[in-house]
C-alpha cells in the first residue's frame, strides 16, 4: 500500500457512516467551541459577580427585557416618524436581516449545543429565564446587530448611540450568566454578515 495523506482517506465512523476531511474539520471546530466555555468562564464570573445584587442587577434585568424584543417597536416607530424617504427600505432591510438570521440561528444553536454558563457552573446565577436552551451564539446580540447595521448605514449619526446600546445588551447577557464572550461575538458577527448583502441590495 502506498503512503497517502491521512486526511485524504475516508474512514468509517462508529455508526458505520463514512467521514470525510470536511466532516472531521467540522467536528474539530465544534469540539473547540464546546471547550471554549472552560476558558471563558472566569471572564463571565468576573462580570456576573458584581451584578448579583443592587442597581447593576436591576440594569442587567432591564436590558435583557429590552433585548427580548421591547426595544424594537419604539425603534421602528422612530424610523417611521423620521420622514426620511429611505425609512421603509431601512425597515424592510432590518426585518429581512433579522428573519434570515433567525433561520440560521437555531441550526447553529442545535448543532453546537453549548451549555449556558449558569448551567455549567453552579456558582453562577441566572438573572432571567432564557428564551431557549443553548448558549452559542447570542440571539440578543445577533438580532440587535442585524438591526443596527441597516439603521447605521442609512443614518451614520446614530451609530455611536446604537453601538453603546449594543455594548450594554452584550454586558447584560454576560452579567446574567446566559452567554460567554464568544457567544456575543459570534451572534454579532452573524447578524452583520446576514444584514450586509441585504443592505447592499436595498440601500445602495
pLDDT tens-digit series, residues 134-192: 899 999 999 999 999 999 999 998 899 999 999 999 999 999 999 999 999 999 999 99
Per-residue confidence (pLDDT) for residue 2, from 0 to 100: 42
Q: What is the DSSP string of 83-138?
A: --TTHHHHHHHHHHHHHHHHHHHHHHHHHH-PPPHHHH-TTS--SS--SSS--SS-
pTM score over 0.95 = no
Q: Are 41 and 120 in contact (CB under 8 A)?
A: yes
pLDDT tens-digit series, residues 95-121: 999 999 999 999 999 988 888 998 888
Distance CA 33, CA 89 (A): 36
Distance CA 45, CA 41 (A): 6
Proportion of the chain above pLDDT 70, given as a percent: 87
Report the DSSP pairing between strands 18-19 and 11-12.
antiparallel
Query: Residue 197 pLDDT more than 90?
Result: yes
Query: Residue 64 pLDDT more than 80?
Result: yes
Amino acid at each position: 500500500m502506498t503512503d497517502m495523506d491521512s486526511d485524504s482517506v475516508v474512514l468509517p465512523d462508529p455508526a458505520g457512516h463514512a467521514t470525510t476531511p470536511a466532516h472531521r474539520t467540522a467536528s474539530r471546530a465544534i469540539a473547540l467551541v464546546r471547550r471554549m466555555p472552560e476558558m471563558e468562564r472566569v471572564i463571565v464570573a468576573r462580570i456576573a459577580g458584581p451584578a448579583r445584587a443592587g442597581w447593576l442587577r436591576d440594569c442587567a434585568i432591564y436590558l435583557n427585557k429590552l433585548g427580548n424584543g421591547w426595544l424594537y417597536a419604539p425603534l421602528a416607530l422612530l424610523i417611521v416618524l423620521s420622514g426620511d424617504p429611505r425609512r421603509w427600505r431601512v425597515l424592510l432591510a432590518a426585518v429581512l436581516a433579522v428573519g434570515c438570521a433567525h433561520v440560521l440561528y437555531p441550526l447553529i444553536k442545535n448543532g453546537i449545543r453549548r451549555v449556558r454558563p449558569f448551567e455549567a457552573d453552579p456558582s453562577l446565577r441566572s438573572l432571567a429565564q432564557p428564551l431557549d436552551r443553548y448558549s452559542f451564539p447570542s440571539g440578543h446580540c445577533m438580532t440587535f446587530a442585524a438591526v443596527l447595521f441597516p439603521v447605521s448605514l442609512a443614518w451614520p449619526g446614530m451609530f455611536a448611540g446604537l453601538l453603546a446600546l449594543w455594548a450594554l445588551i452584550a454586558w447584560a447577557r454576560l452579567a446574567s450568566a446566559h452567554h460567554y464572550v464568544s457567544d456575543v461575538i459570534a451572534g454579532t458577527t452573524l447578524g452583520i454578515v446576514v444584514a450586509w448583502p441585504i443592505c447592499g441590495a436595498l440601500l445602495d
